[in-house]
Amino acid sequence: MNHLTSGQAYRFMFVYLYSEPVAFLLQRLFKMSGYQGWISTIGGFLISLILLMFTYRLGSLYPDRAWLSYGEEVVGKMMHRFFTSLIALLCLYLLSIDVENFIIFLQSMYLPQTPIWLTSSITLLCICLTARSGLVAIVFISEGIFLVQLLTSSLLMPSVGGGGNPEILIAMATHHDWPEILMGSISTMPWFSEWMLFLFLAPAVAFRRPMFTSMVWAGCTVVIFILFFWVFILMNFGPYVAASLRYPLLELVRFARYGDFLDNLDPVLIAIWSTTMFTRSSFLLYVSSVCLSSISGVRQHKSLTFIIAGTAAVIVMQYARDAAAYELAIRSYAIPAFTLLVESMPIVYVAVYWLRSGNRKKATKASSAPSP
């Protein structure tokens, strides 16, 4: 039974994909690509469309069924369980990184004297309560956040876009280093390549043509917003200063004054970042708990959310104690390779399905052929 529409799925996917790059990854984009960041962003999104098409194809095999219920019919029980466990581990890792990024932001900007264990515990408790509410509740929450994001972005763009040096934008058309663009596109691809996780929206939403359109439009909208903010940051700070700022968009907003009443909008921006991060992390925790309950045979995934959140809290506190290990984890090639392996899972399922379908057709033709 379908409880959600493709429009609701679009708004949820936008909130999920939008939260992390705009808040925490713009600095990395300037470090990787400089003036070519706009090309790298578009290139990374275009590469991720390959994974999107295979994800949609996999979901459309049984559009009204959950992927966990029919996956073993495609690749076999053991292989399906193997990929399910990998997805659970990936969601745990992404959840830990998201919470760690958020806590580093709070600790460095506003709560330097607050113990990390307290901040992480309260944050993960909020995420747990949301994840236990279920998928439909998470999607409904994202609908309100979507409207607030559009409103605040509409206020931010004209305010931060009025200043800066527009002449610097000439370098966007004249400065090209194709090997660097290729590496930048590969590096930005993970920002948009988590399409596989949206398989868990079924059967609440059917994987039919409107769902495919929603997935494409969600990615395109996120790319447009990233490029707008990237251009404004480039005009005001340049690529080298922006690369040295940990939160370039926040610093840009602090320069935009809105009068004595509002003073500036950085508290509003922080509130939006917090709610989008909670929505994204709640969905990751939900997916991880559903996968773990499928593997272990536990009927209610809610009973596993606190166990997974506790594991994430341990990882977060370990990273907080050793900043070098955290930086090594997010910048090493092992993690992107593992992420790409898991996110390429739909390709394996679709390829196996095509092979089996071809064999069935050959067997059917052979059995229906008249005997000599």
pLDDT at 298: 84
Half-sphere exposure for 6 (CA within 13 Å, toward CB): 14
Taking residue 261's Cβ as centre, other Cβ atoms within 10 Å add up to: 5
DSSP state of 91: H
Q: Is the pLDDT of residue 237 over 60?
A: yes
pLDDT at 163: 65
Look at residue 357 and tell me if it is in a domain. Answer: no
User: Tokens in use for 279?
Assistant: 């929505």
Residues 25 and 226: beta-carbon distance below 8 Å: no
Query: Cα dihedral sign for 110, 246, 38, 236?
Result: positive
Half-sphere exposure for 111 (CA within 13 Å, toward CB): 13
Mean residue pLDDT across the chain: 84
Residues 76 and 353: beta-carbon distance below 8 Å: no
SS3 state at 15: helix
SS3 state at 43: helix
pLDDT band for 370, please (50, 70, 90 cuts): low
SS3 state at 208: coil
pLDDT band for 243, please (50, 70, 90 cuts): confident
Mean pLDDT in residue range 124-129: 91
Look at residue 370 and tell me if it is in a domain. Answer: no
Q: Is the pLDDT of residue 209 over 60?
A: yes
Look at residue 372 and tell me if it is in a domain. Answer: no
| Residues 153, 158: Cα–Cα separation, whole Å | 9
Mean pLDDT in residue range 96-104: 87
| Residues 286, 304: Cα–Cα separation, whole Å | 9
DSSP structure string for 151-169: HHHHHHHHHHTSSS-GGGG
- Model pLDDT for residues 68-82, shown as the tens digit of each residue: 989 899 998 899 999
pLDDT at 201: 93
Q: Is the pLDDT of residue 109 over 60?
A: yes
- Model pLDDT for residues 311-336, shown as the tens digit of each residue: 999 888 888 877 777 777 777 777 77
Look at residue 349 and tell me if it is in a domain. Answer: no
Look at residue 292 and tell me if it is in a domain. Answer: yes
Look at residue 364 and tell me if it is in a domain. Answer: no
| Residues 206, 214: Cα–Cα separation, whole Å | 12
Residues 16 and 167: beta-carbon distance below 8 Å: no
Half-sphere exposure for 120 (CA within 13 Å, toward CB): 24
pLDDT at 324: 75
Q: Is the pLDDT of residue 267 over 80?
A: no
Pick the range with the lowest mean pLDDT from 54-68, 137-151, 356-370.
356-370
Spell out the residues 6+ positions from residue 347 whose beta carbon is closer than 8 angstroms to its own: 51, 54
Question: What proportion of the chain, given as a percentage, has pLDDT over 90?
Answer: 34
- Model pLDDT for residues 15-53, shown as the tens digit of each residue: 999 888 887 788 888 888 888 888 889 999 999 999 999
Q: Is the pLDDT of residue 151 over 70?
A: yes
Residues 234 and 242: beta-carbon distance below 8 Å: yes
Mean pLDDT in residue range 346-354: 93
User: Is the pTM value of this prediction over 0.75?
Assistant: yes
Give the range of the structural domain holding residue 232, as residue numbers without chain letter.
6-344
Q: Is the pLDDT of residue 258 over 60?
A: no
Peptide bond just before 21 cis, omega within 30 deg: no
Q: Is the pLDDT of residue 281 over 90?
A: yes
| Residues 74, 159: Cα–Cα separation, whole Å | 52
> Between 66 and 24, where is the model more confident?
66
CATH of the domain at 272: 1.20.1740.10
pLDDT band for 260, please (50, 70, 90 cuts): very low
Look at residue 371 and tell me if it is in a domain. Answer: no
Look at residue 207 and tell me if it is in a domain. Answer: yes
Our count of domains for the chain comes to 1
